[in-house]
Every structure is written in C-alpha cells, then in structure tokens.
Chain A
Amino acid sequence: MKFPQFDQEIAISYFSDVKNAGQIRNELLSGNPDYQVAFINANTLLSSKHLLAAVYRAVSDQEAGSMKTKNVHSEVLFCLGGNNNIMDSLRRFGIQDDTTNIVAVKIGGGEYTKLVEGTEEPFTDEQIAKNTDIKLVKKVYKLPGTVSLDDRAQVETAAIGALLLRGFS
C-alpha cells in the first residue's frame, strides 16, 4: 500500500510460529543491511489502525526531517511508543529471542518475507486480535483505570492518541 500523501511503498506481513526471532535480532544488532525492516512483537498491537497510525507518523517525520532514530524502520518502533525513551520503545515493541508472533513492516519496497521462518497469516484485525496482550498494551501506554480492558475500541483510541501526542507534552 501507499499513503496518499507519500510515495514510499509500504508492505506489512503477519507471521505466527516464528522460529528464528533470535537470529533476526542478531542480524539487526550487527547492522545487516538486508534487515531494513521493522520487526514488531505482534502481541503489542491492537489493530491495523493502531500500527498504521505509528507507521504514518514515522513516514511523516521522515519526510519532515524530524526523525529521532537512525532510520524509518526503527522510527516505526519508536513511533509506536507513548514516550520519548527510544530504548524503551524499541525494547517493548521490538522482538525478543523467544517472540513467536511478528509483524514485519517494510517501507520503500524490497524483499523481506524470506527473512522470517514462520507461518504467514493475513494481516487483518481478526488475526491481530488473536494475540493482543491488551493488559500489556494498557501498561505500555500508561492508560488510566478509566479505560476498561474490555473496551477494546477505547483502548485503541487512547493508545493512538498517546502515540500521536508523544513528544508534545
């Protein structure tokens, strides 16, 4: 897909039963240029809208020259977060050695799906909802008790608002 205002091609894939998260992390840490991809712990995502809000912010910030991290893929992870702590957001939304559900976002075109050993699922709200750790999401965004865990729509709205306002408060 493309955002109407920007030229970059944006591809998003959902993988379950991922076997090689540890290896992907090592490649990322060593700076392997073939791994210019945002690898996200799928359990931290609420919906496609939640992710797209962060991707859109990352691409906008890239276009405006106001990125806070070194490339647009790490910026997606940073933009998912609700605070200015880059390390914290990369850790929370990025993958760990034992992550098994991964959403990969590739901005600007190029092959990336072969990097992940797992089962590709459709990137849909139903698929995302299966593995959302909503308690974790609520905690990550420091949402107050007035936001009920049962009200997924409200958690989504609050999380998106928090990530959009990040850096402005």
Chain B
Amino acid sequence: MSALDPRAQDAAQPDTKPGKKKILVPRVENGHETMVEIEVDDAEGSGRPQWGPRDALRLVNHELVRVDAVDKVTGCARYTHDVRLPGMLYARFLGCPIAHAEVTVDVAAAKKVPGVVEARVVRDGEVKFLGQPVAVVAAKTREALEDGLRAIVLGIKPLPFAVTREQSLAANAPEVNRRGNASKPNEEGDPAAVAKAFEGCAAVIEATYEVPIQHHACLETHGAVVDVPTNDSATVYHSTQATYASANEFKGPLKVKEVEVVNEHMGGGFGSKFEAGVEGRVASELARDLKAPIHLMLSRRDEFLCAGNRSGCVQTVKLGGDVQGKLVAMQSSIDRLGGLGGGSHAGLPYIYEVATSVRTMRSVYTHLDANRAMRAPGHPQASFGMESALDELAYALGVDLVEIRKRNVGDVHRRQLDRVAREIGWNEHPHKSKPDLSDATTKVGIGFGLSVWGGGGHPECRVTVEISPDGGVRASVGSQDLGTGVRTYVTAIVAEELGLSMSGVTARIGRTSYGPANASGGSMTSASLAPAVKHAAFNARKAFAESLAKTLKSDASEIVFDVQGVYDARSKRRLAWKDACATLGPAGISATGEWQAHLASNGIHGVQSAKVRVDTRTGKLEVLKMVCMQDCGLVLNRTGARSQIFGGMVQALSYALFEQRVVEPDLGIAMNANFEDYKLAASLEIPEMVAILDDEDTRGVIGVAEATVVPGHSAIANAVHNACGVRLRSLPLNPDKLLLGLAGLKKG
C-alpha cells in the first residue's frame, strides 16, 4: 500500500490525548510528498466554523466565474515574466550543449558587447548534464543579451556520456553516479509465495511497459525578477509554488534579513517550481552586485533541459488472475529513469488489490537533469503499467473490462466505474472482452483507468480577513494560485460567511507579507487554505457581531448576517451591510484564521474512460471522448473543479499521444527542446470531455488536482487495443507504432 493510498488514512490511530486526534497528512519536502502524522483538535462543537449543510450553501460548491478571469484574458494579470522595474537588466543562462563534458568558459568577449553589463561563469570543469547552465549574461536589452550569450567562448572537451537507459546499463558505460549507474534494487514481497500463487492462476500475462521522460512544459518558464536589496530587505518577483517558503531561499544570496516574495499570477508549475534554483540564486547575486533589478527567466530551451522532468520508466509486469478476474499474483520489476535524479514511481500493484505480489524497483541514472515532482509524481507511470497489464489479463481471461476492475477495487471506485461506463457508452459497446478484429477500416474502442490521491490539508496557513468601516472586506493569504482559482474560492468562502456577494470581497494572494502559507504540492492547497479562510471569516463575523451587539445593546448570538445585510433578532432591527460597517471604529475589524482539521479531509478516488477511433489504413488515432468521475470532498467551486479535471485529462491525453524528451543517443544533444518538436496536444486534439463531480462524497475539503492526470493515457492506450487489437506498450502512442502494430496483426 503506497503512502498516498487513501486506504492508509483509515488506519487506527492509537495513543491519542483526550480532545485530540492524530491524522495523517501529506507533506511536500524537496518536491517529494510524504505522509506525516500530526495531532489536531478533535472538537466539532458549535463554537467552531462549519461548512454547514450543502444545500444551504449559497456560493461555495456553486458554479463560480473566476474573479481574475478578465485580468487573465485581457493580459492585465501580471506574471513574473511581465515585471518591468526601472533600470532593470535582462539576464539569461548559457547551457552546456552536450550531455557530459569538461568545460572552460571565457566571458571576456561577452563583456565587451555593447549593452552587456555583466557576464559570469556559473559552472566550469565537469558538466554533468545536458543543458546545465555554465554562464550567465546580464544586459540592458534582450538583443544585447542574445549577442552577449553568443559571444561567450566555451571550450568543450566531450566526455563519454549515457543519455539512455541502455547506454547507462551497458557493460563499459561511463560512470554517471559514483555509487553505480543503477541504484541497489529495493524488493518488497515474497518471491516464493508469488511463484506458488501463479501456479493456481487461470491466466497469466507478462509484458514490459515503457514511459519516456516527459516535461512539465509550464507556459511560464522558471525564474525571478529580483529588485535591488536595500539595507536589510529586498523584493523578489518569483514564479513559484512556494511563495512563503521561497523567501528564505533568497535571503542568503541577497544577504538580507527580510525578503518579500511577490507571485500574483503564475503560469504553471506542476511540481517543478518548489525551489528558487540556480536561476533564483544567480539572479540574486547579480542584483546585489550590480545594484540593478535583474530579470532572469529561463529560455524555453533551458526550461526543457534544466528545469526538471517527469521521470520515465521501464516496468516488466507478470500478472495472474482467477477465472472471475480476481487478481491473484503479481510480479514486477521497475527501472525509474529520472536523469541524475532517482525518478519516481508509485509502485506496483497500483490501486488494485492483488492477493500476493512481489516487486523490485531501482533507479537508472543518465546524464540528464534530475527529475522533479510532477503532478502526481510516479502515479501516471504506475497507472500505465497496472492498467495495461490488467487489461491484457482481462482479454486473456475473456472477462468484461469493467467487471474485472470492479472485482479488484473498493465501493467508491465500483460505483464510479458504473457511472462512467454508462456515460461513455460501454453498455451498448459490442467489444467488452475482445478487441474488434474485423476488417472495418475505422474502428471505435473504449478503455478505462482509475486514480487515487491523498490530498488533504495541514496547518501552515495564516489568513487575515479585514472589514473596514466603509464596508470593504479584504482577505489576505500568502498562498499562490497555480491556475486553480485560489482567489475565487477565497472570495466565495468569505462572502458566504458574511452574507455578501462575490463582488463584496477582495481577495489578495501571493505575497510573503500576507502571512504564512503552504507550498502548493500534493493537491493540498485547497484543503490547507480553505479551512483557514473559513476560520478567519468566521472570526471576523464573530468579532463584528460582538461589536454590533454592543452598539445595538443586543447579544452577539442574536446577530445574523445574510444577503439582505445584518439583522438583530433581539431588536428585530435590520441594517444594510454598509451601515453596519459604519458603526465600527476607524480600525475596523481584523481577524485571523488557521487551519481547521475538521473542515478538511483526505483520500480521493476517480475513474476515467476514453473512447477512440483508429483508422486501420493510416494508423490515425483520434480520441473522441473522455469521461471522468471524481470525488474530492466538498467542492469549493464546481466550475473550477471541473476545469481541473479537464486540465488533467488534456495533459494525460497529450502524454498519451505525443510527449517525449528526445536526446540524440550518439551526439548527446537535445533534439526537441522547443514547442515545435516537443509536441503538445492543441485545440484539434481535444475531445468531447465530461467531468462528473461525485456528489455522494460528503466529506470536508480535499483537493483534486493530481488524481485527474493519473489514468487518462492508460485509458487511451487501452481503448486503442479495444478498437483494433494492437497493444501499444510504450508511450507516446505515435502512428508509426500503431501502423507497425497493425501490419503485424495482418501478418498474424
């Protein structure tokens, strides 16, 4: 059972003090999620904020338009890339163009280029990965910057490199990692028991499944704009998933005590933007030394090569089941491919219950940048191995593809499978346990995949809600918005509590000084932040009621806030919101809130399905429709949650069809470090998409982002086989593979 498996959270929690309970919460450290145990108040009394019955909610759990939608579509929203400060210099790296080399860097000529202010060596000597930054230039214009970078003279002595798994594991491979090019395999399970279990199976399949290294492909590249430090403080505009925590990373290189990080809008992180990185450090050093604001954002090429990747894997799976399709035995060996990093893989078996299993897992290192966390780290890889193998077994046994899944999962997934099957048209589909092997030239197939995620929140956020005498309400949170719509639900929660409309509340986000906030990882932002916002709004309302009770000579418990304003049940007096606020002193009300365990929950489930069409003459693969059903506790914004689901499905579709880092194995150079050759799905690839929110889930806020990206590509690959009988065991599902597969079928 993986640490993030929702079933983990149901485990009993002994040794708890009275009035307290222990819960498991996910936490991201260095981009890796782990589960930690924390103690929280167990009280659920009426003196605490409650979400209340769902049908009584007025804004939360409704269809809300993003409050910053107009800013975003009109270009008014200011991203880090857009920041321009007086006297600012543009800076950028020069990366090593090959995978492994001894490099000398001569910046003298670059310094002489008109407009160039500084050129520096970032690294010389041994360069260990393709694209590693070796020099930086700062210049007055971007044109001068280009010329400056071009003028740097690199002395490159190529060293033997390994950029593929095969090269790394070859007998005379160059050393990538001092402790060996492959880590010591870690084995779980009892091989003898598994071998015995296979003997009793009605069918056993064995195959190898591969996922290439892919990219986060954030539209906004990594980087920061660092203002000149003054005395003891500095302001840094940073495209980061950790606005609050990243301030600490800048203090050292800037040599200041206080740093204000500003991150009003960001263009994607997906797990790759937890740290300030070499770009943050170098930008800080330049700003400090040159006494000029520095704009250092990675070029698209650098972004592809030195800002992390989603690790690939090669997984060999043997899976056996009984006649009904109950999973009996599984054996797997997994190589994670994360460049210089360890890679990530959620482990096998994944999600499905298998009676007996054994697996070995190791990392194989190459001269590529280290992988970073990426939206559900390790899960899409595990999903591809598990769902593909399960499908192959179902066909071998002749069991319905939905039935076999239902037989090996819990209640929630079973219920969701039925609903998704209905929506995708499974009941009418003629090929439920055999692929379509007819002579038709275009064929339609359906495939499925499941997801799980931990989500949930933890205590880190401090939120402030202020009510001013002029009626204005402001909520301030130090958290960032990775694109999920944080401003919108912060606004909605506060407005809901105070009886206001969305326009009555202003949400401010993305500044260190707005208060401590969690890093956005592990799908934990909503479940960490929303309870604290609720608490702050609740405290503000209580303080306001107490103040009004004094003015109106009533009791705080008699004061009601609703859409018509403020009502005192004792005097039966009604005040308009503005008039009520006018009774406040000049300081108004300022209340803070912290995380409330009872308003959050964790552990989510999803089911996705894809319907595809294959043209057997040309190998054209079209995804026609995708369906997702997802639980995620209390939905804060239904439009926003569905949009997250769509985003996850599109990202998985893009992995399924196109995405793959290509490094030339003989030259050690990057072949597709740009958006022309690293193909992402675009508008014509997007199918009809249906996102069903699982309203039978009555828990608190959990968060949804990562689960939605886990199974889409698996469902698509399974649908391809269902359509035409070709099993594609390596991503992406390119037409060349499909055509060769179809030709193979014809030959028999």
Say if A and B assemble together: no
Q: Which residues of B contact A (CB under 8 A)?
A: none
* A→B interface (CB under 8 Å): none
